Amino acid sequence: MFYLGEYDEDTAKEIKRHLDKAGLKVESKSCLVIDEETTYYIKDKMSAISELTEEDTSRFKQYLGAMKSVLPQATPDNFGDLYLKELLPDLFDKRDEVVDLLTSSESTTEKVKESLESGSKEWDEGHPKMQDAKSFATMILENNEIKIGEPAEDKLEDPVLLLLVSPEKFDTRPKQLKYDIDFYLDKSVTVYVDEFTAPLTDDIDEDFWDKYPSEAQRLKILGLLIEKLAITPSSRKMDFAEFAEECVLNIEDEDSTVNIDGFDVADDLARVLEKSGVIKRKGDKIKWKGKD
């Protein structure tokens, strides 16, 4: 059997459905697998992390300043808007302008379009900062036991940060460097295809080629080689050494050359043809069936 690949359960079912429809013989085998993800981080006061990692904390100080400004009057519902507007006032003024135009009875599609176009650069530049600022605020609230709507007291003066880092950045790993390892159990399905049915790849619908181009191409290549080997040679019989030399196919056109090399698996390819009733192998000799 030809190994096509390993997939999640739904993808394997979809691939099998496409191949079954085209007439290819497909087998699948499922098993449990474990994926591992390791996350390295440093958790300490901002002042300590700044010295330890040489992290540029200027943006952190800007974010903290905005948090200090809005937290006293913020609620869980409006904190996000107040915080981001404090950080990016021009961006939010542009947003308010667009909202006003959309809700105004005097607005036109052209006016809205002009306003959006004039603010596109600000949105493109501001969006990454917005995401970074929101992640920072969430991290500060969670690691310093700050609840929106309650006094933060002095928790924002030198707050505890939790920064994801790469251990390769350090010549000597600091004692503050910690890591979490997460293991995820999942089901993996391995899909196999009967080699002798690979030439039927031409009958697979275009949707499969669009969604799984690598799989389709590999099956196509295998099918071309199987087709070549299944054709009875004029000599009718062949030594295995000759057969191994035939397990190579070169296809040329004006733009490219495709080389298919099955020399190292000639024994396996011979078994595929024999199992499918195309050849009879006896010792070092191969004979195509149906011929004297």
Per the domain annotation, does 30 fall within a domain? no
Whether residues 221 and 108 share a domain: the answer is: no
Per the domain annotation, does 67 fall within a domain? yes
Whether residues 179 and 212 share a domain: the answer is: no
Whether residues 179 and 244 share a domain: the answer is: no
Percentage of the chain exceeding pLDDT 70: 88
Whether residues 44 and 178 share a domain: the answer is: yes
Per the domain annotation, does 248 fall within a domain? yes
Whether residues 152 and 225 share a domain: the answer is: no
Per the domain annotation, does 237 fall within a domain? yes
- For residues 100-114, give the mean pLDDT: 60
Whether residues 231 and 127 share a domain: the answer is: no
pLDDT higher than threshold 90 for residue 70: yes
Whether residues 57 and 6 share a domain: the answer is: no
Per the domain annotation, does 271 fall within a domain? yes
**Domain end residue (candidates: 150, 183, 216):** 183
* C-alpha count within 13 angstroms, C-beta hemisphere, residue 226: 25
CA-nearest of 143, 18, 173, 150 to 79 is: 150
The confidence score (pLDDT) of residue 9 equals 94
Whether residues 139 and 85 share a domain: the answer is: yes
Per the domain annotation, does 118 fall within a domain? yes
Residue 55 is encoded by which pair of tokens? 């992290």
Q: Are 247 and 269 spatial neighbours (Cβ–Cβ below 8 Å)?
A: yes
Percentage of the chain exceeding pLDDT 90: 67
- For residues 9-25, give the mean pLDDT: 96
Classified as helix, coil or strand, 105 is coil
pLDDT tens digits, 117-126: 555 566 667 7
The confidence score (pLDDT) of residue 98 equals 62
Overall number of domains in the chain: 2
Whether residues 82 and 9 share a domain: the answer is: no
The confidence score (pLDDT) of residue 58 equals 84
The confidence score (pLDDT) of residue 121 equals 62
Q: How confident is the model at residue 11 (pLDDT cuts 50, 70, 90)?
A: very high
Whether residues 177 and 202 share a domain: the answer is: no
Whether residues 52 and 94 share a domain: the answer is: yes
Domain that holds residue 246: 2-25+194-288
Q: Distance between CA atoms of 170 and 245, rounded to whole angstroms?
A: 54
**Domain end residue (candidates: 183, 210, 244):** 183
pLDDT higher than threshold 70 for residue 292: no
Q: Which of 47-51, 228-232, 263-267 is predicted with the least confidence, judged by mean pLDDT?
A: 47-51
The model carries a pTM of 0.65
- For residues 40-61, give the mean pLDDT: 83
pLDDT higher than threshold 90 for residue 259: yes
Per the domain annotation, does 144 fall within a domain? yes
Q: Are 85 and 92 spatial neighbours (Cβ–Cβ below 8 Å)?
A: yes
Whether residues 163 and 50 share a domain: the answer is: yes
- For residues 247-271, give the mean pLDDT: 92
Per the domain annotation, does 107 fall within a domain? yes
Beta bridge partners of 3: 192
Residue 129's φ and ψ, nearest 5 degrees, are -70, -40
- For residues 5-14, give the mean pLDDT: 96
pLDDT tens digits, 26-44: 999 999 999 999 999 999 9
